[in-house]
């Protein structure tokens, strides 16, 4: 697991200066989530992941700065998470590398040892380079954090049906969250490819994620 550095203290100070942010006082929690997703992805590929702490910290702080451009007041949690997604995509704090590299090539200092694993090793190198680790972590983290924001909202909603309505507010929100998850699952692969091959702006990505994930309840996150 990557080592934690003093740089994350900058995030705390930046969050304090930023005031009412919903996301930006949760650096440790979000970092741990991002590393968990990166670990799951790397295990599936049989490689290891690396995290550049300074770059991740920069992404976190940059997200807060660009999110402020939405205007006065606190941007809803979808916009905040989208800005973090953008900066992970842009700065790429995660990378992958084959497991054999350190354990054999560097420690034993015998170049020819790789010949014993030549085919497998080279395929792992290629796979590590090709794998869209930052895109996958960014999108998985975005989905998770947006849903966590909605669960916070859900805990404050009315569980009783109002006069003239078929469902309680909380049931409406949960239904819309399930629909949005299904919608994202259908386009997940396309989004990963698009993130890797096209350029987005932070605000453009926030608008796109808003279109994907809006339920009409995000303004309740106060």
**Could you tell me if residue 113 is inside a domain?**
yes
Question: What would you report as the CA-atom Rg of the chain, rounded to the nearest whole angstrom?
Answer: 20
* Percentage, residues of the chain above pLDDT 70: 68
Q: Which residues pair with 94 in a beta bridge?
A: 51
pLDDT in tens, 94-142: 988 766 444 444 444 445 444 544 555 555 555 555 678 899 999 999 9
Domain count, the chain: 1
Alpha helices in 52-110 (DSSP H): 53-67, 77-91, 100, 107-108
In this structure, are residues 22 and 152 in contact, taking their beta carbons and an 8 Å threshold? no
**Could you tell me if residue 3 is inside a domain?**
no
- Is residue 67 pLDDT above 70, yes or no? yes
Domain interval for residue 148: 8-220
- Which span out of 20-24, 28-32, 70-74, 98-102 was modeled with the highest average pLDDT? 28-32
**Could you tell me if residue 31 is inside a domain?**
yes
In this structure, are residues 23 and 106 in contact, taking their beta carbons and an 8 Å threshold? no
**Could you tell me if residue 1 is inside a domain?**
no
Query: Across all residues in the chain, what is the average pLDDT?
Result: 78
**Could you tell me if residue 2 is inside a domain?**
no
């Amino acid at each position: 697991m990557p080592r934690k550095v003093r740089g994350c203290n900058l995030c705390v100070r930046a969050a304090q200066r930023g005031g009412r942010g919903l996301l930006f006082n949760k650096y440790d929690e979000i970092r741990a989530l991002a590393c968990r997703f990166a670990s799951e992805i790397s295990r599936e590929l049989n490689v290891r992941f690396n995290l550049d702490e300074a770059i991740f910290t920069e992404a976190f702080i940059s997200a807060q700065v660009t999110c402020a451009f939405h205007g006065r007041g606190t941007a809803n949690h979808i916009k905040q998470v989208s800005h973090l997604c953008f900066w992970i995509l842009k700065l790429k704090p995660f990378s992958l590398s084959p497991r054999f590299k350190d354990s054999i090539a560097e420690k034993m200092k015998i170049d020819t040892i790789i010949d014993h694993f030549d085919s497998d090793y080279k395929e792992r190198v290629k796979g590590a380079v090709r794998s869209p680790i930052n895109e996958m972590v960014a999108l998985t983290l975005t989905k998770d954090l947006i849903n966590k924001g909605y669960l916070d909202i859900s805990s404050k909603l009315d569980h009783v049906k109002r006069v003239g309505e078929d469902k309680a507010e909380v049931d409406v929100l949960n239904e819309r969250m399930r629909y949005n998850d299904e919608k994202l699952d259908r386009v997940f692969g396309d989004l990963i490819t698009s993130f890797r091959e096209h350029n987005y702006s932070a605000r453009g990505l926030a608008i796109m994620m808003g279109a994907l994930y809006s339920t009409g309840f995000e303004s309740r996150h106060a």
